[in-house]
Chain A
Amino acid sequence: MIAADAVGGILLASVTLYAVLGGADFGGGLWDLLAGGAQRGRAPRRLIDDTITPVWEANHVWLVFDLVIFWTAFPHAFAAVMTTLALPLWLALLGIVLRGVGFAFRKEVHGLSAQRLFGALFAFSSLLVPFFMGTVVGAIATGRVPVQGATASMAAWTSGTCVLTGLLFTGACGYLAAVYLAGEATRIGDERMAAYFSGRAVAAGIGSGGLSLAALVSLHGSLLYSRLTGRALPLVIVAGLCGVAVLVLLLTGYRRALWTRAIAALGVAAVVWGWGVAQYPVLLPGTGVTLSNAGAPGQTLVAIVWLFVVVLVLIGPAFALLFALQGRRLLQAEEPAKTAAAAAASQASGPGRFAYLVVAVAVLRRLRR
């Protein structure tokens, strides 16, 4: 069924967007956690804060959107996952709540100890979310979710492969965040932070690469393994190439270019799509639940396709505006001196993004009349 395949693609695309946008926000929490004491960690924490603040809620909506598409288009698979994997899902959810409020509250409290409390909440919970989401994906991919499961299962998501996937997700979030932050630091002319984060990006990149290989090896002998080394192999290769390319770019000091970040994101996207292609068309491996028989009638699937088109048309420009304004550092308060330097630094680059801004301001001006 074409509509079912299309919706499968839409779901995977939305998951990818959550991974490369929302994932990086969780990775920011990882670096916040590892930034050290109050004095030493001030500069990186500040950069992390500045970069995440205006965008994390919008990025977070991709998760909500993923969930809604999942339950609307594939309700039988959704109910099965939410029952069998209730425990890691609850834990991930706990992380989401604590991360959000920890982050939002930290900037409103004054005083070191209160900021530390909420900061630690934000940073620790940022680790919970990708880890437990990873175990959920691992459990689905390794065929541990039965269709008619009645109770939550512990065994389903605690296998070696699942734990490896959890660690891989955490590492990949840290990797994306460090690459983005290094680029951001370069753009505002903060060489020290640029070097700081590109070092971390390299470390996280190597770590995540190792974890991916370990996860792959742990799958040896399964159907998923033969698919990943069979029809999904091109994507696995793309992922590997992207990872290597980013490392080379970072190590040669190429942090600035927007495409370093794009390549890093593409690498992560290739992993997500590799998983999707390997599983296709089965939704819950080990069961007969596929994209086209998971409980939604055709009209629902068609309606989701339309909805997604509308979302892209309306949300695309809105996200572009948000990221453009944020890229231009128009979305925060700053000390005048730093602002001028930052403005000068970004003026010199990114004519494309500047054009967005001009268009945006022109539209806003027009609306005003």
Chain B
Amino acid sequence: MTAHVTGEVVPARAQMATTLGFHIILACLGIALPSIVLLAEFIGLRRKDEVAMLLARRWSQAMGVLVAVGAVTGTVLSFEMGLLWPGLMRQYGAVLGLPFGIEGLFFFLEAIFTGIYLYGWRRLPGWAHFWSGMPIALSGILGAMSVMAVNSWMNQPGGFTTKNGQVTSVDPWQVVFNHAAIYEMPHMILAAYMVSGFCVAAVYAWGILKNRNDRYHRTGFALGFVPAAVLTPAQIFVGDTAARAVAQDQPVKFAAMEYVTRTSTNVPEWLGGVYLNGRIYGGLRIPDMDSLLVGFSPSTKVIGWDTVPGSQRPPVVWLIHLCFDAMVGLGFLLLLAGAWALWTWWRGRRFPKAKLFWLLGAVSGVAAIVAMECGWVVTEVGRQPWVVYKLMTTAQAATTNGAVIASLSVVIVLYAVLGAATIAILRLLARRWRRGDNADAVPYGPEPGTGP
């Protein structure tokens, strides 16, 4: 289908993928990090635990940086909806705009209470300060549900009628709670908690590997690791449900995920393997397994991509398949880490001593991020060539404004620098904490005497 693509669909897709792939990491931290900080503050207040309190204060400082980057990259996305996809917005803006509007409500609450929480450490009384953080955690979850309503609507559009190509009526309730929202919303929110929890844990696991195995590091590790590890089985359960729903509702996407070339029964499951020109290179073939997973019986018929013409199949099938395998594989790896800790806890009320466990902990943050990004590639690339499933192609949605190559180039450079600067700033904070100075200073302006 790329042959007769007009407009600038290829660079536009690349730009959307870059900016979304970046924003989503900040979004995960924006959704779930507040809860983890609040958990630490709760323990600090409740048990008069100085260490937990110190962690909460320091994490807030990091949150200040992350929230700013999340806000500006999110704004970029809002503009891009129009700057890159005017065709989509012209046709369906009145439909998919509604959940975005609801999201706006939660952005307000999140931003307002973030201002109060982050800068209120010094002078708001303990529990009042704690409660000022609750609306952030809550609106993070509700905001995520709203954006996910948009994305899942693109996968399973509904809740509107058209006449002569014009949207004539809209049912907001059906738009928000569309067929795919049921699993995409919880899957994403759990992913956000896993990403945030494992990222926090990874920082302290790294410290412990570096022989800083003190109560401070163990507490920091546990506050991130325990919630994330507890939620991992739930995430796998929801993901499994999602896969079965995709097999039902978006069969061609599912066929790409699982290399179902032809509709049949006794479909095998491929672990790994690269599909090129009609052949699968490498990979492990498990007979009948895919049929079993979809319908709990080898005789389950699974729809293959042969049911639609080539122009309606997603491109780069191998990418979709490998990303799906990576997401599932990493999900089980993280499950393993949790199970290991549970085992030693049950046996001796402690975390494992093995160095391997802490290595696993140190990579768990990156693993969760990679799993999450892979999931998004499955969802978004797997939906191609449609932007709105079976209603509008990505090419029809794309802009023709003539500036996308330029904006894409700027975005790539800008985001590379932005990512590096964000990491550098976070490391700077960590280094300052380690030196012990400025232990509880909240984000603050130019130092006296050193102002710019």
Contact = CB atoms under 8 A, between A and B. Distances in A.
Contacts of A71: 81-82, 89, 93, 97, 100
Contact of A97 (B67, B127, B131, B414): B414
A106 B108 contact: no
Contact of A68 (B101, B132, B166, B400): B101
B68 A314 contact: no
A53 B450 CA distance: 18
A52 to B, nearest CB: 9
Nearest to B67: A57
Contacts of A299: 169-172
A93 interface: yes
Contacts of A257: none
A61 to B, nearest CB: 5
A150 to B, nearest CB: 5
B289 interface: no
Among B68, B87, B101, find the residue whose CB has the most chain A CB atoms closer than 10 A.
Answer: B101
A167 to B, nearest CB: 23
Interface string B97-123: 110111111011101111110111111
Contacts of A358: none
B83 interface: yes
Contacts of A322: 112, 115-116
Contacts of A368: 127-128, 130-131
Interface stretch (A204-212, A215-223, A359-367): A359-367
Interface in A307-336: 307, 310-311, 314-315, 318-319, 321-322, 325-326, 329-334
Given A71-B89, A332-B122, A116 B170 contact: no
A112 B401 contact: no
A4 B94 CA distance: 13
B111 A58 contact: yes
Contacts of A72: 93-94, 97-98, 100-101
A107 interface: yes
A109 B445 CA distance: 10
Contacts of B128: 361, 364-365, 368
A310 B142 CA distance: 15
The binding surface of chain B is classed by DSSP as: helix
Contact of A67 (B78, B119, B171, B443): B78
A184 to B, nearest CB: 14
Interface residues of A, number: 90
B122 A79 contact: no
Given A72-B100, A331-B120, A64 B75 contact: yes
Interface stretch (A38-46, A138-146, A236-244): A38-46
B446 A104 contact: no
Contacts of A54: 115-116, 118-119
Interface string B436-452: 00000111111111111
A65 B71 CA distance: 13
Nearest to A307: B101
B108 A65 contact: yes
Interface string B380-409: 000000000000000000011111000100
Nearest to A60: B71
Nearest to A111: B450
A83 interface: yes
B445 A68 contact: no
A90 to B, nearest CB: 5
Given A97-B72, A110-B447, A78 B441 contact: no
A319 B83 CA distance: 31
A87 interface: yes
B451 A46 contact: yes
B164 interface: no
A187 interface: no
A104 B83 contact: no
B119 A331 contact: yes
B200 interface: no
Given A97-B418, A330-B120, A315 B98 contact: no
Given A45-B452, A53-B119, A93-B79, A60 B111 contact: yes
A120 B95 CA distance: 41
B76 interface: yes
A292 B122 CA distance: 50
A144 to B, nearest CB: 15
A89 interface: yes
A318 B95 contact: no
B446 A93 contact: no
Nearest to A296: B94
Given A107-B444, A303-B98, A45 B109 contact: no
Contact of A100 (B71, B105, B447): B71
Contact of B93 (A78, A94, A120, A364): A78
B284 interface: no
A49 B445 contact: yes
Contacts of B71: 57, 60, 100
B245 interface: no
Nearest to A69: B101
A26 interface: no
Given A299-B171, A315-B105, A364-B132, A57 B451 contact: no
A101 B452 contact: no
B395 to A, nearest CB: 14
Contacts of B422: 101
Interface string A270-314: 000000000000000000000000011111100110010011001
Interface in B408-444: 410, 414, 418, 421-422, 425, 428-429, 432, 441-444
Given A94-B410, A115-B451, 13 more contacts: A53-B443, A78-B93, A82-B86, A82-B399, A83-B399, A90-B83, A90-B410, A100-B69, A108-B429, A110-B432, A119-B452, A322-B112, A332-B444
Complex A-B, nearest 8 residue pairs according to Cβ-Cβ distance, in ascending order: A72-B97, A75-B93, A82-B82, A104-B68, A49-B445, A296-B94, A79-B90, A79-B86
Interface of B: 61, 64-65, 67-69, 71-76, 78-79, 81-83, 86-87, 89-95, 97-98, 100-105, 107-109, 111-116, 118-125, 127-128, 130-132, 135, 160, 166-172, 399-403, 407, 410, 414, 418, 421-422, 425, 428-429, 432, 441-452
30 contacts: A49-B446, A55-B115, A61-B107, A65-B108, A68-B103, A68-B104, A71-B89, A71-B93, A72-B98, A75-B89, A75-B93, A82-B79, A86-B399, A87-B403, A90-B83, A97-B72, A105-B421, A109-B425, A110-B450, A115-B451, A119-B452, A150-B400, A150-B401, A295-B166, A297-B160, A300-B172, A304-B98, A315-B109, A321-B112, A330-B120
